[in-house]
Amino acid sequence: MVGTMALLHALSRTTRTARTARTALTVRAAPASPRPADGLPADDEVLLDAPDERLAPVLVAAGLGDHRPAAALLAATRADGAWEERDLYVTRLAAFARPRGEWFAQWCALAPDDPDVLLLRAELAVTAHWESPARVELLRGAAALVAAATGGDPRDPVPWRVALDHARGADADPAEFERLWGEAVRRSRHHYGCHATALAYLAALRHGSHGECFDFAETAAQDAPPDSLVQALPLRAAFAWLTDGGRSAIPSERLHAAADRAIALSSRYAPADPWPAEVRNLLACVLAALGRRPEALGQLRLTGPYATSFPWDRFPGDPLGRFLDLRRGVARETGARGAVRPAGPVLPRSERAGRMPALDH
């Protein structure tokens, strides 16, 4: 089990000192949209963060000022113990409520102690302050809202994911983060959002030394079921290392093993399924960075019209534009090499690690 002691061990280890030369991250604009490669939707068919069939009508109703479908959706996820879906819907509803909050204000007034209201309020408080220069102070001021959310449904791990994000943004010390982590995994051993937040905290704590991050991510993935999103956690560690310029020594094999594990996860879902879209977006990005462009193109085909903000919001510019840039570049380069192969490296592995792709290849 990936439990409290596993993270505590990672948090308490000394920072590795091995370094490699930092590699610049190059992200350049692509020319106007070419004709898409076979198997890829046209650029104007691609959607960013498209809601699934359950969330879409809820957002429409919220836009019209009706909170009741949102309340019913979140209550259903709580009743069913559908924690991954609940986390996704809370994140999307909070993002929707930030510029359009009337429907949520009405809900708060009618049911201020509802666990779903408490959770959305906490998520809004954390995300609203995240980009502020005064983030630490503002987030510490939101601690009461986060604590109220964790006191809602005692089975629910999602408030504890919010609490972990809050602790990360408020510069909580490792002991406090460890306490929150223990509460989270006690409720759901393999909740992806909690694991992703723990990985991000660990990466920030180690200031660019990524060995501990890979240790944590790989152990979590080994413990998780084959269809769990936690199988993509090593891929996130690989992406963090690549975008950090490869400042610590990570064997190439670990990067490729992370990609291979995520390919196996992707294969468990149908093509053009919006649920694994974020994993497939991230996987295409990392595969391209590793020189495995035919496989990156394969994942882009499986992704279909579903672009996601992450990982493209980690690059300068518009996330949808970044996705389309990489898609064009991968399709162009792969087509120039001849027939698209279903798998296999483009370059020897020793030549492929430690750089992110220029998105207009």
Distance (Å, whole) CA 319 – CA 308? 8
Distance (Å, whole) CA 148 – CA 207? 31
pLDDT, position 336: 55
Distance (Å, whole) CA 229 – CA 8? 22
Per-chain mean pLDDT for the chain: 85
Tell me the average pLDDT across 186-197: 97
Q: What is the pLDDT of residues 201-247, one digit of tens each?
A: 998 887 657 899 999 999 999 999 999 999 999 999 999 999 887 66
Q: Is residue 199 predicted with pLDDT exceeding 60? A: yes
Dihedral sign computed on CA atoms, order 248, 252, 257, 259: positive
Residue with tokens 């190059």: 26
Tell me the average pLDDT across 323-346: 68
pLDDT, position 361: 35
Query: Which amino acid, one-letter code, is at 27?
Result: V
Better pLDDT: 2 or 55: 55
What's the pLDDT band for 78 if we cut at 50, 70, 90? very high
How many of the other CB atoms lie within 10 Å of CB of 44?
A: 9
pLDDT, position 246: 60
Q: Is residue 28 predicted with pLDDT exceeding 80? A: no
Distance (Å, whole) CA 171 – CA 228? 29
Residue with tokens 């068919």: 45
Flag the least confident range among 124-133, 281-290, 341-350: 341-350
pLDDT, position 38: 54
pLDDT, position 353: 38
Which of 268, 265, 267, 303 lies closest to 284, judged by CA? 303
pLDDT, position 254: 96
Please, what's the b/e burial string for 69-92 (b: 16 or more CB within 10 A of its CB; e: otherwise)?
bbbebbeebbeeeebbbbbbbbbb
Check: CB of residue 286 under 8 Å from CB of residue 242. yes
Q: What's the burial of 339, exposed, middle or buried (CB within 10 Å: 0-12/13-18/19+)?
A: exposed
pLDDT, position 249: 84
pTM of the complete model: 0.84
Tell me the average pLDDT across 259-276: 97
Flag the least confident range among 25-29, 75-79, 95-99, 220-224: 25-29
Q: Is residue 330 predicted with pLDDT exceeding 70? A: yes
Query: Phi and psi of 48, rounded to 5°?
Result: -100, 125
Residue 340, C-beta contacts closer than 8 angstroms, at least 6 positions apart: 294, 297, 298, 334
